Chains A and B, each alone.
Chain A
């Protein structure tokens, strides 16, 4: 009975979406709208907890259940149902999405207070949760794709939520379109992968696909094609090189959206998808290498950009891209559990960071530039403390949650023999610690750099309570994955082991590495992270001039970083502008005006010419018509007579 309730968890946000969407304008009372939206997600979380406990009670081998609701598409060989697969992996994701989602819904009640689009905001949020739950609970690729597209749509709607505001060089609408179009490129890869799966296996359901895949040899070319195509989809949704450009711009949306969609849940969909298809990836070692290299490169690349950004949300956005890179690095080196573990801890501390940033922005009256902040520590004490805890977690300081997940990833990369990838990850970790504490110091420490008219104040309880809950999770979330070397049971690894075992069996087994080595690496990574923190605090707590000095000594590097490696400009030059110019000159003025319009006009002119010629026959003299009539009769009669 427990498992049969899971479809209800999916349906409730949809009901919330309908109620708030259709009646929200009439309800008007923010408390009611917010309560409906939050409850729809909160009940889903309770259902998820219930499932978790009954799974814990069950035998580890019998924790996978499929709840089939009704047949969806039945056409030829394609049989697809609306069916939900509940197994250890999807339950973890279900709890993350509904749990963090619920907290962010509650936070949004306070954050969006007074916004004319309040009901619209909760409508979109509920629709997002509905789509996201379809994505993670689907038992086939098609339903997953429905959710995949659905979250993309909600992302678009929510980035452009304040459609009347300006954002950077354009409007929020431009940022929304950018996100949608870049995602569409990735989705195309997902579609191709799905088609390949269907032609190879004849079905889109997970269980039969993976059962048949077992028979393929490691390195089969078709697996390479499928996994690469799917990974293109993942780079789009999870903002990896080369399709990461939309995520920093997605910060145009309200801050709860950045926390929920563009940090904690939606962007991890790509990681989840790779984890779900772990067996297929394990059969394509070349793709695994690609995933690992892209992940490590993105982790390092985005971290370097994060060093010099001055918009509080931009720093966090690049940090998200970077952390997603770590997750893909984990996937690529076969540390699937560590990747999902990092998805979870990242959801806690990154949601907290974004919500804390929202609280700061709220206190500073919509100011986002950290150069114009400073000294906020005493004005927003709860926000400061929670933000600090989240920063320690993301920096990977023992014993905060981020330490366990990030260190697990780095350890698995090292133990698997990927020393270069490990070094990239470690360097990224130093940068992470540095830019996070640069952010903390510039925002909360030192002298106030804001105008005297402002009176920063702590946020209401609806906003601070979710912050505190998330802070608790950020600090203690790591206990689920304490590695054996530290005397823990690594609960999450055991929990997810049945899901990933088929994939792990296909991967080459690494030699047993000693605990001593593991301790050493732990000390190294915590040590360098602490170093990054200390340097950042020394340079940025007060105006020291050191960063400016470094920037002046390396002007080229500084300019490249501030301009985000000119990636947007390069894409504009290589892709966007040629398409726009080509569309204008060739498609519009050449083919549309020159060929299609010309043909239409020419046929019209031809008919007009013909009419002008023929209409002289119509003299208006009725007797002329009668004469033609008679002549015609005479001609026909004559013809009949002759024959």
Chain B
């Protein structure tokens, strides 16, 4: 007896929402990053769930792409964080606001 599909979807919706809120409300860059990863992984969960439900491996294949992109994104993002940190020793988002008029 397997877990029914709506359970997976509900879980990933909850995880996605947590990720969105995390991105929006947290001020620590690292935490924001983690929240983004959370959103990506909630989507991965949805994809795997649908893949299993529909008996189609395409969704699982797509997950690998998402993971690869997530890895690349993390690498670039952390590199930016380090680069910013060298100029301005902070990881607090409110202090990194020079991208404005």
Contacts and interface: CB of A to CB of B under 8 A. Distances in A.
Contacts of B32: 623
Interface string A602-641: 0000000000000100111111001100100000000000
A626 B101 contact: no
A623 B92 CA distance: 12
A630 B20 contact: yes
Contacts, number: 27
A619 B100 contact: yes
Contact of B99 (A622, A623, A627, A630): A622
Nearest to B23: A626
Given A630-B20, A630-B24, A623 B101 contact: no
A620 B99 CA distance: 5
Interface magnitude class on chain A: 10 to 19
A620 B100 CA distance: 4
B101 A621 contact: no
B98 A622 contact: no
Contact of B97 (A615, A620, A630): A620
| Residue among A618, A623, A626 with the highest chain B CB neighbour number at 10 A | A623
Contact of B101 (A615, A627, A630): A615
Interface string B89-101: 0000110111111
Contacts of B98: 620
Contacts of A615: 101
Contact of B100 (A618, A623, A627): A618
A619 to B, nearest CB: 6
Interface of A: 615, 618-623, 626-627, 630
B39 to A, nearest CB: 11
Contacts of A626: 23-24
B94 A621 contact: yes
Of the candidates B20, B25, B98, the one having the most CB atoms from chain A within 10 angstroms of its own CB is B20
B23 A623 contact: yes
Contacts of A623: 23-25, 27, 32, 93
A619 B24 contact: no
Contacts of A627: 24
A492 B86 CA distance: 102
Contacts of B93: 621-623
Nearest to A619: B100
Nearest to B97: A620
B80 to A, nearest CB: 11
Given A623-B27, A630-B20, 4 more contacts: A615-B101, A620-B99, A623-B32, A630-B24
Contacts of A630: 20, 24
Contacts of B101: 615, 618, 620
A622 B96 CA distance: 9
20 contacts: A618-B100, A618-B101, A620-B97, A620-B98, A620-B99, A620-B101, A621-B94, A621-B97, A622-B93, A622-B99, A623-B23, A623-B24, A623-B27, A623-B32, A623-B93, A626-B23, A626-B24, A627-B24, A630-B20, A630-B24
A620 B101 CA distance: 8
A611 B7 CA distance: 48
Contacts of A622: 93, 96, 99
A623 B32 CA distance: 9
Contacts of B25: 623
